[in-house]
């Protein structure tokens, strides 16, 4: 990263779309990875409620808590200088009432220094998005496969298939934009539909399993690094095989310890 690079602002997202420059977003849950991503010119670090699965080992995101999200988001923000930090609002922290959504989203920004929040849902979330934006809280939407609704959707499956479903998703995206959302994540939808949505909006779309026509792309960091070796959906490309690297390093350490090769004189104090 250029040491003189200006930190991004939420309003830069519109400019990036206007310039045709693809937006890069990755999930991040700690300060060390935040520093690495920020030094690699990642535009948005998303503190996703996926941490409930990746870090905590749960099957879904549903049991993630606000305190959990705030803890990890504060750590990520401490490791970030250039990129934007957005934080998922966990299940039932924004759906119950608008005042509660404002209070919880405001707490996220106040206690972490993050730049905005992300929430799931379309038309039924429009009033909430509008209320947050009116109070100075940037909001990123999320349509398609919405993990907090995984049981209602019947599992992790492609959404927006069929003309009626596609029209409904496009309408939801337009409503989120009208409510003031600064971007919309499109997850697990057909690529032609993602292209149609992207062309219809002035705000950027960020895809995951939504094809190449979105204005940006996001992956879960541990998935793309090959650390989550049991997860291999069609849309995922692994850019490294760090799971194997970790095993090899740990086995080498264990072997040297058992053979009294580590620590050596060079690692010891006189």
Give residue-wise pLDDT tens across range 228-244. 998 999 999 999 999 99
Q: Helices in the chain by DSSP H: which ranges?
A: 12-18, 31-39, 51-54, 66-78, 98-112, 126-134, 163-179, 191-200, 221-224, 242-258
pLDDT of amino acid 2: 55
- State the burial class of residue 137 (Cβ atoms within 10 Å of its Cβ: 0-12, 13-18, 19+): buried
pLDDT > 70 fraction of the chain, expressed in percent and rounded: 99
As a whole number of angstroms, the distance between CA 258 and CA 244 comes to: 21
pLDDT > 90 fraction of the chain, expressed in percent and rounded: 97
Each residue's pLDDT tens digit, 161-182: 999 999 999 999 999 999 999 9
Read off the pLDDT band of 5 (50, 70, 90). Answer: confident
Each residue's pLDDT tens digit, 203-230: 999 999 999 999 999 999 999 999 999 8
Residue 188 in tokens? 């697990």
Mean pLDDT of 3-18: 90
As a whole number of angstroms, the distance between CA 149 and CA 131 comes to: 22
Report yes or no: 137 and 116 within 8 Å, Cβ to Cβ.
yes
Mean pLDDT of 113-126: 98
CATH architecture assigned to 12-239: Alpha-Beta Barrel (3.20)
As a whole number of angstroms, the distance between CA 106 and CA 196 comes to: 33
Read off the pLDDT band of 3 (50, 70, 90). Answer: low
Domain with CATH 3.20.20.60 in the chain: 12-239
β-strand partners of 140: 118, 183
pLDDT at 80 over 90: yes
- State the burial class of residue 159 (Cβ atoms within 10 Å of its Cβ: 0-12, 13-18, 19+): buried
* Average pLDDT value for the chain: 97
Which letter, b or e, does each residue of 208-238 get, where b requires 16 or more Cβ atoms within 10 Å of its Cβ?
Answer: bbbbebbbbbbbbbbbbbbbbeeeeeeebeb
Mean pLDDT of 141-151: 98
Catalytic residues: 187
Each residue's pLDDT tens digit, 180-197: 999 999 999 999 999 999
Comparing 270 with 130, the larger pLDDT belongs to: 130
């Amino acid at each position: 990263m250029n040491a003189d690079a200006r930190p991004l602002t939420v309003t830069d997202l519109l400019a990036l779309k206007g310039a045709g420059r693809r937006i890069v977003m990755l999930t991040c849950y700690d300060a060390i990875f935040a520093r690495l991503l920020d030094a690699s010119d990642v535009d948005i670090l998303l503190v996703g409620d996926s941490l409930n699965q990746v870090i905590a080992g749960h099957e879904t995101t549903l049991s993630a808590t606000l305190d959990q999200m705030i803890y990890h988001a504060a750590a990520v923000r401490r490791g970030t200088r250039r990129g934007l930090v957005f934080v998922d609002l966990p299940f039932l922290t924004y759906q119950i009432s608008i005042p509660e959504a404002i209070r919880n989203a405001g707490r996220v920004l106040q206690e972490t220094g993050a730049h905005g929040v992300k929430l799931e849902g379309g038309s039924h979330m429009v009033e909430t998005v509008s209320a947050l934006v009116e109070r100075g809280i940037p909001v990123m939407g999320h349509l398609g496969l919405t993990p907090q609704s995984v049981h209602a959707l019947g599992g992790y499956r492609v959404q927006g298939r069929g003309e009626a479903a596609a029209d409904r998703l496009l309408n939801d995206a337009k409503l989120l934009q009208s409510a003031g959302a600064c971007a919309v994540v499109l997850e697990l939808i057909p690529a032609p539909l993602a292209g149609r949505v992207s062309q219809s909006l002035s705000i950027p779309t960020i895809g995951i399993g939504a094809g190449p026509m979105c204005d940006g792309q996001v992956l879960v960091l541990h998935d793309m690094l090959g650390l989550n070796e049991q997860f291999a959906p069609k849309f995922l490309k692994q850019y490294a095989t760090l799971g194997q690297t970790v095993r090899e390093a740990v086995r080498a350490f264990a072997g040297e310890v058992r053979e009294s090769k580590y620590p050596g004189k060079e690692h010891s104090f006189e």
